[in-house]
Amino acid sequence: MKQVEFSLSRWMDGSGPETDMVLSSRVRVARNLKGHSFSCLASNEQTAEVLGKVRSTIDDIVELKNFTFWMMEDLTELEKQALVEKHLVSPLLARESKHGALLLREDEAVSLMINEEDHLRLQVILPGLQLEEAWREADYYDSLLEKELEYAFDENYGYLTACPTNVGTGLRVSVMLHLPALIITRQINRLLGALSQVGLAIRGLYGEGSEIIGNLVQISNQVTLGHSEDEIIGNLGGMIRQVIEQEQNARQALLDKKRAQLADKAWRSLGLLKYAQVMSSQEAIQLISDLRLGYDLGLIKTINHRLLNELLVLIRPACLQLLAHRELTESERNLERPVQIKEALARYM
Amino acid sequence: MKQVEFSLSRWMDGSGPETDMVLSSRVRVARNLKGHSFSCLASNEQTAEVLGKVRSTIDDIVELKNFTFWMMEDLTELEKQALVEKHLVSPLLARESKHGALLLREDEAVSLMINEEDHLRLQVILPGLQLEEAWREADYYDSLLEKELEYAFDENYGYLTACPTNVGTGLRVSVMLHLPALIITRQINRLLGALSQVGLAIRGLYGEGSEIIGNLVQISNQVTLGHSEDEIIGNLGGMIRQVIEQEQNARQALLDKKRAQLADKAWRSLGLLKYAQVMSSQEAIQLISDLRLGYDLGLIKTINHRLLNELLVLIRPACLQLLAHRELTESERNLERPVQIKEALARYM
C-alpha cells in the first residue's frame, strides 16, 4: 500500500484567477447508490457491499487508473489527520472508518470519499477562483461513475442524500478567501451578516464550527435544492466577486493610510518565520497571513503564493509530523514547525 | 574644524574582561583651577579665561597632540546630542555651551570636558570590567595636566569641586552592566536595594534619572571623600564582582529551565532586527538585549559583542541622524533605524 506522504496539492500551486484573495475553489457532490441504506443506517455488511460495488466499478474505469485507493482502516491516525488537514478527507470519515475509503488523483485536485455520510462524496479543489472549472471537472468524474453505478435519484427531489440539506443537486460549493483588510478594518461583520442573509455559510479554515484564523474565510452555499448546479455556482461566484471587490477597496484604503506599517508587519512576519525557534500553528497562520497581505500589496516581492500556500499547510500538526517522519507532542511540534518553515523558505527564496 | 562623525569608541570593541555582563568601565575626575571661580558662579570673562588657560596648556602637552579639540559653540545641536548619546559630553555641557569645550582622543576612550560644572572633567571609558586600567589611564592624563595647571586643592578636603558631592578625590567610577537574568527573574530589586545601602548609585543607560531599558544598569560610587582612589575603585570592583556572580547564577538557572524559549527570543530578536521596516529606539534596545543574552548563553553564535555594542549606539536618535547625514523627525528616524541596523548587521554577518 502506498504511504500517505506530505505532498503538494494542485490548489497550492498559486495559479488561477484572483489568487491574491482566493486561495482555492472547491466543489463537492454527494451521491448514494440506489437500493442501499444510507451509511448511517447501514449494517456492517451493507456498508461492505457498497464498498465492494464502488471498488469494482472504480477498477473498471480506465480514467481512474492513476488514482490511489486507500482504505481508511489501513491508515494511521496521523495519515488520516493529515488528509483531514488538507481537506481531502472529512473529520467524519477519518473518525468512523467502517469500510470507509478514499480515492485520490495524483495532483490531489480530485478525490472520492466512500462510505462517508453519503456513499460517495466526490470533491474537486482548484487554485484561485475557478468554480465553473471545478464543477466541470466534478461533473466529468461524476458522469463516469454514474454510467456504471445506479444513483439514488428522485424525479422531484433530485439526488437523494443522507442529510436532507444535501438533497437535490447534492452540490456544495465553497471558496477559501484571504480577507485581511476587511478583518483589520472590521468591515467583515457587516459583510458576513449580508452573506448569511442570502443563504451562504461562512466558516474558518477548518470548516464547520471553526474560528476565523489567519484572516482565512470559507464561504459556501447552503441551499442544494431548487436551483440548478449552474445557478448555485453562478450565485456563489457573483457573491464572491462582490466580496473580492470590497476586500480590494479595503486594501487600497489601508495601503494609502498605512503603507509603512503594513510593509513593516509583512517583513517582520518574514523575519519571525525565518528566525523563530518555537512557534504555535496559530501564530504561524497569522504570520503567513501578514506576509501574504504584504506580498499581495506589492510591499514584499521575494516570495510567492505557492510558498505561502505550502507554508499554510505544512505548519498544521499532522502534516508537520508527516514531514518530520515521526510522531510529535505539541511542544515538540512547536520546535519542529520552525525547522520545516525554514526549509520551505530556503527552497523558494 | 573637524566634523563630528559617527565613529566607534574604543569601549565598543567588545574586548576586555567580563564582556558578557560588563559593557564598559568609566572613570571620571573633576578638577578646578586654583584662583578661578567655579563655572556656575563665573562671569563670561572668567570662563573665557579658564578656557584660554586650559587651551594653551593642552597645546603645550605633546601627549595631547593627537587629540581633537572642539568648542561646544561650534557644534550643531545634532553633533552635541550624538556626543551626549556616546557619553563623551554631559547633557549640561551640551546645553550650556558658554566657553565649553571638548578634547577627545582618537579612540574616544579619553575625553576632557572644559567648563562643565567643574573647569575640567577628565573621563576614561574602557571595554569590559577594567576599573583599575581606566583609573591608571585617567591618572596619567590628570598628572600631565596637573604638571602645567595649578588645581584647586585643600590639604584636608582634597580636590575642590563645584558640587560638594565630588569633593575629595573628585572621582566618579561607574560600570555599565547588562543584567537580563536578574531583571527577568525580578531579583534585581533586592540587589539594587543592597547596592544603594552601601552607597552605590544605580541608574539606567542614560545616567541620572533615566529608567532601566534594555536590561542595562549603570552602577557608580556616590562617595568621593574619605577614601583613596584605590579604595573607591576596589570597593566598586568588589561589588560589581558580586553582581556578576548573581547574574551568572540567574542566567544558569534560566538556561536550565528555559533554554528553548531563550533561544527563540534571541533568534526572533535577530529576525526582527534584520527584517523590520519601522522601529523605535526603545524596541531596538530591548531586541539588542535579548540578542545579547542569547549570544552570551551560547544560543546564537553568528554575532559578537562588537556588533551588539555598535547597534546599541547607532540606534540612538542623534547618532542615527549623523549616520544618515541629515536631520530626521521621530517618525523618519523610526524608518531610518532599521536601515542602519541592517547595514551594521550586514557588515558583521
pLDDT in tens, A125-153: 999 999 999 999 999 999 999 999 999 99
C-alpha cell at B73: 559653540
B335·A260 Cβ contact <8 A: yes
B272·A270 Cβ contact <8 A: no
pLDDT tier at A208, thresholds 50, 70, 90: low
The pLDDT score that the predictor gives to residue A134 is: 98
In 3D space, the residue among A295, A190, A247 whose CA is nearest the CA of residue A21 turns out to be: A247
B315 found inside a domain: yes
Better-predicted residue by pLDDT, A274 or A7: A274
Q: Chain A partners of B284 at a C-beta cutoff of 8 Å? A: none
The pLDDT score that the predictor gives to residue B335 is: 97
Which residue from B minimizes the CA distance to A261? Answer: B278
B145 found inside a domain: no
The torsion angle over the Cα atoms of residues A70, A71, A72 and A74, rounded to 10 degrees, is -100
User: Residues A8-38: pLDDT tens digits?
Assistant: 899 999 999 999 999 999 999 999 999 998 9
Task: Count how many domains chain A has.
Answer: 1
A271·B272 Cβ contact <8 A: yes
User: Residues A35-62: pLDDT tens digits?
Assistant: 998 988 889 999 999 999 999 999 999 9
| Average pLDDT of the segment spanning A156-169 | 88
pLDDT tier at B257, thresholds 50, 70, 90: very high
Closest-CA distance, B264 to chain A, in angstroms, reads 4
The pLDDT score that the predictor gives to residue A46 is: 93
The pLDDT score that the predictor gives to residue B211 is: 78
Res B84 pLDDT > 80: yes
| Average pLDDT of the segment spanning B192-218 | 84
Residue A5 CA to chain centroid, in angstroms? 18
A311 found inside a domain: yes
Which residue from B minimizes the CA distance to A268? Answer: B276
The pLDDT score that the predictor gives to residue B207 is: 64
Chain B contact present for A275, CB below 8 A: yes
The pLDDT score that the predictor gives to residue B178 is: 97
Res A226 pLDDT > 90: no
pLDDT tier at B170, thresholds 50, 70, 90: very high
Confidence (pTM): 0.91
Q: Chain B partners of A264 at a C-beta cutoff of 8 Å? A: 276-278
In 3D space, the residue among A269, A270, A347, A275 whose CA is nearest the CA of residue A306 turns out to be: A347
B295 found inside a domain: yes
Which residue from B minimizes the CA distance to A335? Answer: B260
Range of the domain at B340: 258-348
User: Residues B290-319: pLDDT tens digits?
Assistant: 999 999 999 999 999 999 999 999 999 999
User: Residues B43-75: pLDDT tens digits?
Assistant: 999 999 999 999 999 999 999 999 999 999 999
The pLDDT score that the predictor gives to residue A115 is: 96
Res A90 pLDDT > 80: yes
The fraction of chain B above a pLDDT of 90, given in percent, is 81
Chain B contact present for A342, CB below 8 A: no
pLDDT tier at A207, thresholds 50, 70, 90: low
Question: Residue A270 is nearest to which of B263, B267, B275, comparing CB atoms?
Answer: B275
Q: Chain A partners of B263 at a C-beta cutoff of 8 Å? A: 277
User: Residues A108-125: pLDDT tens digits?
Assistant: 999 999 999 999 999 999
A158 found inside a domain: no
A265 found inside a domain: yes
The pLDDT score that the predictor gives to residue B1 is: 65
A275·B278 Cβ contact <8 A: no
**Mean pLDDT estimate for chain A:** 93
The pLDDT score that the predictor gives to residue B208 is: 64
B152 found inside a domain: no
User: Residues A262-286: pLDDT tens digits?
Assistant: 999 999 999 999 999 999 999 999 9
B61 found inside a domain: no
Under DSSP, the state recorded for B267 is: H
